[in-house]
Copies of this chain bind each other. A is one copy, B any other.
């Protein structure tokens, strides 16, 4: 990394610009949480868990390759599991904020759970119902708790074109089905997951990572699994 320039230090990853204009993602062991409890959805780093970065990287590598096999593009170039790094094409995240940071997060739900169930509890007739790969989109904004945004607003604010938005939602649902099928083959059920999407040379691709941190998984006894358990079951 001698000739690389650090361009961003995130909560769980550092980014370096490589001489070939690609980006090197360095996965860190930092974990986020609230009041000392680990919560990947939280916005504050509360400590480190040894080996956590490499696990997230291995799982991202595992799933990104599954996506490629299904003709879904990602920004992945190559992974160095030893070093805990992933080289990626430089992507423009969909829906950047006015400072050039932020972006949209694409949530896919197979059934009501968590914040969704709390938000719409008066309107959910059957808590067991299928949500048929429902996509919800939020804007990254730590201070305001990543607010939900609807499709029309995304277009009205000029964040994403209608065409790219439709493609991104379609990709989100396809990724969700692939991850769900994979977990299902191991006796686990996907409840919901979150991905990020960006443009590489005008093409809509999956970016960042797909790790246990960004999915909620249940075993056949109905228990929601710890993220480390999901890692272990999937990639050992």
The residues of A with any CB-CB pair to B shorter than 8 Å are: 95, 97-99, 102, 118-125, 129, 131-132, 134-137, 139, 141, 144, 147-153, 156-159
4 closest A-B pairs by beta carbon, nearest first, are A97-B122, A150-B150, A134-B156, A119-B147
Task: Name A152's contact: one of B122, B123, B134 (CB within 8 Å).
Answer: B134
CA distance A136 to B156 in the complex (A): 11
CA distance A229 to B231 in the complex (A): 61
Q: Tell me whether B125 and A98 are in contact (CB under 8 A).
A: yes
Q: Which residues of B contact A144 (CB under 8 A)?
A: 118-119, 121-122
CA distance A118 to B149 in the complex (A): 13
Given A134-B153, A150-B150, A156-B131, A98 and B120 contact (CB-CB distance below 8 Å): no
CA distance A187 to B141 in the complex (A): 37
CA distance A131 to B118 in the complex (A): 29
Q: Which residues of B contact A124 (CB under 8 A)?
A: 98, 157
Q: Tell me whether B139 and A123 are in contact (CB under 8 A).
A: yes
Q: Tell me whether B120 and A157 are in contact (CB under 8 A).
A: yes
Q: Which residues of B contact A132 (CB under 8 A)?
A: 156
Q: Tell me whether A147 and B120 are in contact (CB under 8 A).
A: yes
**Copies of this chain, tallied across the complex:** 2
Q: Tell me whether B123 and A157 are in contact (CB under 8 A).
A: yes
Q: Which residues of B contact A149 (CB under 8 A)?
A: 119-120, 123
CA distance A121 to B99 in the complex (A): 11
Given A98-B125, A123-B102, A157-B123, A150 and B147 contact (CB-CB distance below 8 Å): no
CA distance A102 to B139 in the complex (A): 27
Q: Which residues of B contact A134 (CB under 8 A)?
A: 152-153, 156
**A107 CB → nearest B CB, Å:** 11
CA distance A176 to B51 in the complex (A): 56
Q: Tell me whether A151 and B150 are in contact (CB under 8 A).
A: yes
Q: Which residues of B contact A125 (CB under 8 A)?
A: 98, 157-158
Q: Tell me whether B98 and A159 are in contact (CB under 8 A).
A: no
**A162 CB → nearest B CB, Å:** 13
